[in-house]
Amino acid sequence: MPSRAFRIGRSATGLGLFAIKPIKRAAYIATYRGRVITTEEADRREARGARYMFELNSRWTIDGSPRWNVARYINHSCRPNAKPVGRNGGIVIVALRRIEPGEEITYSYGPEYLEYFLDNGGCRCASCRRKAALRRRKRRLERKLAQQRASAKRRRGRAQTARSQSSRLRRNSR
Ligand SMILES: [Zn+2]
């Protein structure tokens, strides 16, 4: 068995899986392991707070909650570098592109997951946090520019009043 290409480490949102050596595009990374249970049973477990359910289809789901399922540590990203694919009736995670050592391995959890996020304060993946930070920076900049424009207008207004006052004064002194 080849040695692992990753380690479990701290990510921004908890634990994550990180490459420790270069992973080639389309290379196998890990298998999503766990018992196959009915999707009905998975829904019941999820309602009780279970996580790491990987739905194979409307009938069958992998309960990936055991710790020996290292694939459960892979976090969601909206700009993932890996993806789950069906293989031999199970799920394996493969690289979407070359992954460099130190990079966090991520895949997209899919539209249902994002829908859940819409109701729960937004996605916290690296890509979304970067976008949110950019939006905040842009808003700050816009506020600053608006303030500068407003104070420039006030200054212009004051200058105009001063000019008209001084011309009145000149007229009166004639
Ligand atoms: Zn995201």
Instruction: Kindly report the CATH class assigned to 6-33+68-122.
Output: mainly beta
From the CA of 124, how far away is ligand 1's center (Å)? 6
Please give the share of the chain, as a percent, with pLDDT higher than 90: 67
Check residue 73 and report its DSSP letter.
Answer: G
- Please tell me the pTM assigned to this model: 0.75
The neighbouring-strand residues paired with 54 are 62
* pLDDT for the residue numbered 85: 97
pLDDT at 102 over 50: yes
Task: Report whether 7 contacts 18 (CB < 8 A).
Answer: yes
* pLDDT for the residue numbered 163: 76
Q: Which of 87, 79, 76, 77 is nearest to 30 (CA)?
A: 87
- Given pLDDT bands bounded at 50, 70 and 90, which one contains residue 103? very high
Strands 104-107 and 14-19: antiparallel
From the CA of 85, how far away is ligand 1's center (Å)? 20
Residue-range domain boundaries for the chain? 6-33+68-122, 125-174
- Given pLDDT bands bounded at 50, 70 and 90, which one contains residue 172? low
Q: Which residue has the tokens 């991520």?
A: 106
From the CA of 78, how far away is ligand 1's center (Å)? 4
Largest CA distance in the chain: 103
pLDDT at 124 over 90: no
From the CA of 79, how far away is ligand 1's center (Å)? 7
Task: Report whether 16 contacts 8 (CB < 8 A).
Answer: yes
Task: Report whether 123 contacts 117 (CB < 8 A).
Answer: yes
- Which tens digit of pLDDT belongs to each residue from 17-45? 999 999 999 999 999 999 999 999 999 99
With residues binned 3-state (H G I as helix, E B as strand, rest as coil), the percentages for the chain, rounded to 5, are 40, 25, 35
Residues 6 or more apart whose Cβ sits within 8 Å of residue 70: 4, 6, 8, 17, 30, 33
From the CA of 147, how far away is ligand 1's center (Å)? 32
From the CA of 8, how far away is ligand 1's center (Å)? 21
From the CA of 77, how far away is ligand 1's center (Å)? 5
* pLDDT for the residue numbered 122: 83
From the CA of 155, how far away is ligand 1's center (Å)? 44
From the CA of 123, how far away is ligand 1's center (Å)? 4
